[in-house]
Amino acid sequence: MAAKLVTTIKRFVGTAAEIAALSLTGIPAGSTFFETDTSRMKILNEAGVLVYKNDPVSIIGSLQKSSYIIPMMDLLAWSGFTNQPASDAVEIISDSASDVGKCTIFGTTHVGGAFAYETITLTGTNAVTTVKTDWGNIYGIFLGDIYGQNISPAVGTITFREASADQSITTIVAAKISKGMVAFNLAEKSIILNVHSGNVWKRCAGVVTTANGFKMNLTGGNIKEERIATYLYLISDTTGATAQIEVLV
């Protein structure tokens, strides 16, 4: 089959029900449809049929790129975190024995302030302590790994506290996967970043702040597709925000 030039590819965002109700007349093959309530992506194939992007169905004769979704994240300014470690380890404990997934903590080293992160496996109602013992400030938490995978939403309330005196830094409540700033190693991957609420600031060249990041929201633009060199950093302000990412592998 000869190569085919496809123009005016379109992208749609809505709930599964809203997308199902769309008329596909005049929409070109290859257009994408992101379901906000299922965090799944559909694509319109050459036969005019919507299929999930990870399904083994071709558009023009070959399998689609696989992808994965980093589901709805809660972002926040880390300035609201209390009892920062200031040269201490961090302990994590849940009020549910079922919280045994991975957790990645983002922050700084106390001396010098260099960015640091650590991925640790939770142990439910038994406290687990980070290997790093010289945290400065904690910027955020993500209940998964540094690649945005192996995600386990909180079952109970998970508390993050400085290790020496067990003073609470912040918590993540049931069904949530993040709080504060997040950072992902998405080297050489393309992404689609979709903001669902609030203001999100993104940066790829170092830790993001509301002063140095690119601002995205529902008014000024909430979807951005780009290729990441190494890391993607996301943060919000004190009012908070929610966002999802599709990672194209």
pTM of the model: 0.76
Whether residue 221 has pLDDT greater than 80: no
pLDDT band per the 50, 70, 90 thresholds, residue 36: confident
CA distance 224 to 200: 12
Say what percent of the chain tops pLDDT 70: 90
Q: How many CA atoms lie within 13 A of 246 on its CB side?
A: 22
pLDDT band per the 50, 70, 90 thresholds, residue 4: low
**pLDDT of res. 56:** 38
Which token pair is 247? 């990672």
**Mean pLDDT, to the nearest integer, of 12-28?**
86
Query: pLDDT by residue (tens digit) across 109-140?
Result: 999 999 999 999 999 999 999 999 999 999 99
Whether residue 61 has pLDDT greater than 50: no
Residues sharing a CB contact under 8 Å with residue 83, sequence separation 6 or more, in sequence order:
161, 162, 167, 168, 169
**pLDDT of res. 7:** 56
Q: Residue 18: what are its φ and ψ, rounded to 5°?
A: -65, -40
SS3 160: strand
Lowest mean pLDDT among 16-30, 68-82, 87-101: 16-30
Number of neighbouring beta carbons within 10 Å of residue 45: 17
Q: How far is CA 238 from CA 77, 85, 181, 229, in A?
A: 5, 21, 11, 28
CA distance 104 to 158: 13
Residue with tokens 């999930």: 52
